[in-house]
Amino acid sequence: MGKNWTKTASVVFFFLLLTVVSLGDYFPSLPPLSEFSLDLQNSVIRSPTFDIADDKLWKDGQPFQIIGGDLHYFRVVPEYWEDRLLRAKALGLNTIQTYVPWNLHEPEAGKWVFEGIADLELFLKTCHKLGFLVMLRPGPYICAEWDFGGFPAWMLSIEPAVRLRSSDPAFLELVENWWGILLPKVASLLYSNGGPVIMVQIENEFGSYADDKSYLHHLVTLARKHLGSDTILYTTDGGSRDTLEKGTIPGANVFAAVDFSTGDDPWPIFKLQQEFNAPGRSPPLSAEFYTGWLTHWGEKIAETNAAVAANFLESILSRNGSAVLYMAHGGTNFGFLNGANTGVDDSDYKADLTSYDYDAPIKESGDVDNAKFKALRRVIKRYSSVSVPSIPSNNERQVYGKIKVEKVASLFDAMDTLCDPVNVIESGNPLPMESVGQMFGLLLYVSEYSAKEKGSILSIPKVHDRAQVFVSCTSENNGRNPAYVGTIERWSNLALEVPSIACVSKIRLAVLVENMGRLNYGSYIYDRKGILSDVILDGKVVYGWKMFPISLQNLNKLSNVNPIVQVSDAMAAKSFSLKRLKDHSMITSTMPGFYKGSFKIDTINQVKDTFLSFSGWSKGIAFVNDFNLGRFWPSRGPQCNLYVPAPILRQGENILVILELETPNTELFVSSVDQPDFTCGSKLHQL
């Protein structure tokens, strides 16, 4: 049957060709017969290919130069993915590189999330629709200035402790489970299967961390299992011999890419790169060409010169090198997922801003009308193989004016709402946050001690990251009107003087600990949060602790406290502070509390991006319509305003809820403004 069918098909095809030729005069736009036959053959025989050969990248048999940029889907609300990608297109990029944060997709062990901002497949399909190729960085470690380098926080609750980024069988089993879910989703979107993904990264800058070739080879085997033997796998390491020796994977057919400082001469590093790739398989590629830099709280906002960045990019592209801008668009560390870094030791802690603007050419709010975008675009246009779209206008923004708020509850008054009693944990010693199931945000530690005639000295040798200390009489209002004693911070860790309290009952000691973001880089990455040591009062260990996990879900449902009660509570707290605290030279009104307000948007056309200015506020977290915008800390700076993307707003009433951890703006308002602001804080202090 097969032979007869083939013979018949050949005859039919011959007559079809004769028909096409005979109709040539009537359809002059048809290609010559030889071209028609060749195209028909190609459409049947050829499939999309992306290869490395002769020290070049080859796309469908033609030399290809990657002019790419990092754009992380998890730092942009999904409604804006296409908008930001179109701006990247107008910059001249042909490739998008993105990390895949494990903790976003498995927030609880065995609970998989691939919807909303975690819809990786939709993001990749959107890239494909707009004509981008994709370089995918699935880790399992990603760094990315992202909490815990992308690892799920629940891994820190496993006993015995898992050895991260190693050949530890317990760790590898977790990775196998994760990649077993993730990589099959990626496989259908590989370039060879008609999708956009041309390369998949193995680990991330491993040469800056350790030297465990067995671990890296295991990842390669796992990737090949799910993605096939033809997919280009790559590593990225700093452009030094030491990092390349430790981070590359010789003999595994894995391409070694490099990254380096924008000010470094790229070509000596590309020459070094060749030593770590097989002959003919080392196209010069900077997988992270830095357009800016990250900023920590307490630092001056990082900025890099547009002309300098453009000149160094041209030095790569002009000699047929490839580069990926890090970042093309930074976005925002919404919620609690910002990362942190250390300096000389574990205590030299530096938390990242909520904004991940990164001084990138496409700003946090999508703006492209800036010198860096224009300078980089001018260079890219000279080397782009296709025409570059025109520059789009900035997205419109709206100013909604002053938003008046009122205090609805102190944090201590709201504990019955914020913490389910079944989740309260009791222990002789304080436990880490992860051990009590509190992965992010705040945990309240409570104990008691006997009243003393004189003041005491309180120390917590190891607290991650910031502990506010309060005391109260247990016999009065169940200790719910505590007085603020002071704050112990990870980076300074000073002991506190606790004043004496005239109290017939025991003293309630409450320690509110904030997780400010886990370390994402370096040897101290195993970064548990909370109180990680004994609590010591006058040289003696304090035992008998209750731990209250604080949920910040559905804060809109917090009931308004009667204003008369608020005044009464404030007067009672003030009276307590003045009468009960003896020999306390710095009585303050610092008290964590919730503040609520609303603003109305009259028409759908007025629903646009805005920024919220927290001038006059101290430190806390802001929510709009139950969406966690992230942390604000204008008293430390440099970030003053939080970005509010239009898709989280709505026509009609919009609800703003603020958890202020210290002291609110005295006039109790927040301003809606139309610009970012990075001028807050002293700029002299650095975490």
- Angle ∠(549,551,555) on CA atoms, nearest 5: 155
Q: Is the peptide bond before 101 cis (omega within 30 degrees of 0)?
A: no
Cα distance from N-terminal residue to C-terminal residue, the chain: 78
Can you list the domains of the chain with their CATH numbers?
63-383 (3.20.20.80), 401-406+557-578+589-673 (2.60.120.260), 429-543 (2.60.120.260)
For residues 243 and 537, what is the distance between their CA atoms, to the nearest angstrom? 46
Indicate the helix (H) or strand (E) that contains 471: strand 466-473
For residues 617 and 356, what is the distance between their CA atoms, to the nearest angstrom? 21
Q: Which parts of the chain have pLDDT scores under 50?
A: 1-43, 561-588, 684-687
Using alpha carbons, list the distances in angstroms from residue 476 to 211, 321, 408, 576. Answer: 58, 71, 22, 10
- Catalytic residue IDs: 205, 288
DSSP string, 419-439: S-GGG-EEESS--BTGGGT--
Other CB atoms within 10 A of residue 542 CB: 20
Tens of pLDDT, residue by residue over 91-146, are: 999 999 999 999 999 999 999 999 999 999 999 999 999 999 999 999 999 999 99
For residues 483 and 580, what is the distance between their CA atoms, to the nearest angstrom? 9
- The amino acid sitting at 391 is I
pLDDT of residue 604: 98
SS3 69: strand
Residue in the structure block whose two tokens are 């975490």: 687
| Token couple for 257 | 């890419």
Q: Find how far residue 444's CA is from the centre of its chain.
A: 26
Using alpha carbons, list the distances in angstroms from residue 70 to 99, 333, 360, 457, 557. Answer: 8, 15, 10, 49, 38
Helices (H), 296-419: 306-317, 371-383, 415-418
For residues 203 and 222, what is the distance between their CA atoms, to the nearest angstrom? 12
Using alpha carbons, list the distances in angstroms from residue 623 to 352, 521, 594, 643. Answer: 19, 28, 11, 11
For residues 622 and 632, what is the distance between their CA atoms, to the nearest angstrom? 7
115-122 long-range contacts (CB < 8 A, ≥24 apart) are 116/78, 117/73, 117/74, 117/76, 117/77, 117/78, 118/74, 119/73, 119/78, 120/73, 120/182, 120/185, 121/185, 121/189, 122/78, 122/81
